[in-house]
Amino acid sequence: MTQLTQLLAELQERFGADADAAIGEQALENVRVAYLGRNGEVTKIRRTIGTLPAAERPGAGKAINDAVAAMEERLKAAQAAVESRAVDAELAASIDVTFPAIAPAAGSIHPVRRIIEESCDYFMRHGFAVVVGPEAEPDYYNFDALNIPSDHPSRESFDSFWLTDSVLLRPHTSPMQIRTMQEHRPPIAIVAPGKCFRRDALDARHLFQFHQVEGLLVADDIHFGHLKGMLTGLCRELFGSGQRVRFRPSYFPFTEPSAEVDTTCPKCRGESAEGRCSLCGGSGWIELGGAGMVHPNVLREVGYDPDVYSGWAFGFGVERLGLARYRVDDIRRFISSEPDFLAQLS
C-alpha cells in the first residue's frame, strides 16, 4: 500500500512536470495519452491491483481513482493555460506596436484665465502688485467710496445681486481700489482681476457673471499719458505688436476725465471697408472698457490729498477681450464647457 501511494505520488509529480512543459494542444494530448490513456501509466498500475491481497484491493482502487481525478484536474488547468497562451500569441501577432497610440484627453488653460494671467504678468513686469478680494462687498466699497452716492442714477447700470440691504455681489473689481488705498499710502500700483456680477440678461455680448481686470496707479504727477502708454502696451501684449489705443470721452462717477478705450481691430487691423469686418463692423476699432483719471472725491475718501497725488484707473471685461482676441462670435461660448472649443484657443 505504502509502495502504491509512493508510486502514485511520483506518477503525479512527473505528470505535472510533463503537463507544464507541454507547449501546444497536441503536446498536451500526448501527455494525457501517455499517463491516462488506455495503455497509459495509470492503466499499468491499475493492472497490479490483482496481485494484491484481497483486503487491500478496495483501498488501492480508491487511491488510484483519487490520483486520476487529481491528474485530470491538473490537465484541465494545463489546457486552460495552453489556450490562454494561444490567445495571447494571436493578439500579439495582431497588434501593431508601432501604431500611434490614442492620446489621453488633456485639459487646457481656460482662455479667460489665460488673458487674466497674461494681463497680470504684463503689469507685474512694470512693478504692479496683483490684488484679489471679496466677491460680496458692502455698498460702501461698491458705490459710496467710488463717488456713487445712494441717489446717484449711475447705480442703476451697476446694479447687481443684493444679498442683504447693504451687501451685494460686486458689479466691478473697483472695491479693491478703495481697500488697497485705505491700507497703503502712495505710490499705489495694482492690478485687480476677478469675478463680477451684473443684472444683465444673457446674450451674445452679455453674461451676468463675468471677469474684469482692473488697474490703478496713484502717485505724484501721474497723468493721462502714463495711462495711454500702459494700455497700449497691454493691448500689444494681448493682441500683438502694432496695436494702437484710442480714447473716446465718456463719463464714470469715479474718474474725471473719463474715457472709453478702443484698440485697433485685431482681425482687419482697421483696413476693412465699411461693414465688411465681422469683428469691428468695419469701424477698425473694438471697445475694451473704461478708464480715466481717479476722481478727486475718490482720493479724498481714502485720505489722499488730490492736490498732491493723482492717478489713473481702468477696467476691462476679460470675456470681451476674449471675444476680440479669439474672434469668437458669442460670449456664452466661454462658459459652455465645450472641450473642443476651449482647446482651440491658446
Positions in the binding site for Zn ion (CB under 5 A): 265, 267-268, 272, 277, 279-280
267 vs 332 by CB, closer to Zn ion: 267
Least distance to Zn ion, CB of residue 102, Å = 40
CA-CA distances (angstroms) from residue 47 to 8, 9, 108? 14, 17, 78
Task: Provide the minimum distance between the beta carbon of 178 and Zn ion in the complex, in angstroms, as a whole number.
Answer: 37
Cβ proximity to Zn ion, 19 vs 245, nearer residue:
245
**Residue whose CB is less far from Zn ion, 282 or 296:** 282
Q: What H or E segment, with its residue span, contains residue 333? A: none
Minimum separation from the CB atom of position 114 to Zn ion (A) = 22
Nearer to Zn ion, 231 or 277 (CB): 277
Beta strand ranges found along 87-132 (DSSP E):
129-130
Nearer to Zn ion, 52 or 279 (CB): 279
Q: Which cell numbers hold the place of 158?
A: 451697476
Looking only at the bridges linking them, the beta strands covering 136-138 and 245-252 are unpaired
Of 46 and 267, the one with the shorter C-beta distance to Zn ion is: 267
Task: Residue 310: name the closest of 200, 221, 209, 247 by CA.
Answer: 221
Radius of gyration in angstroms for the set of CA atoms belonging to the chain, rounded to a whole number: 41
CB 286 within 8 A of CB 315: no
- Judged by beta carbon, residue 191 or residue 286, the one nearer Zn ion is 286
Contact indicator for 92, 33 with CB cutoff of 8 Å: no
Q: Which one-letter amino acid corresponds to residue 37?
A: G
Closer CB to Zn ion, 279 or 335, in the complex: 279
For the bound state, the minimum distance from the C-beta of residue 279 to Zn ion, rounded and expressed in Å, comes to 5
Smallest gap from Cβ 306 to Zn ion, in A, equals 39
3-state helix, strand, coil in the chain (%, to 5): 45, 20, 35
3-state secondary structure 216-285: EEEEECCCHHHHHHHHHHHHHHHHCCCCCEEEEEEEECCEEEEEEEEEECCCCCCCCCCCCCCCCCCCCE
H/E element, 50: none
Whole-angstrom CA distances from 221 to 174, 297, 315 are 22, 17, 21
Quote the least distance from Cβ 324 to Zn ion, whole Å: 9
Give min distance, CB of 238 to Zn ion, in A: 16
Shortest separation between residue 108's beta carbon and Zn ion, angstroms: 27
83, burial (CB in 10 Å: exposed 0-12, middle 13-18, buried 19+) = exposed
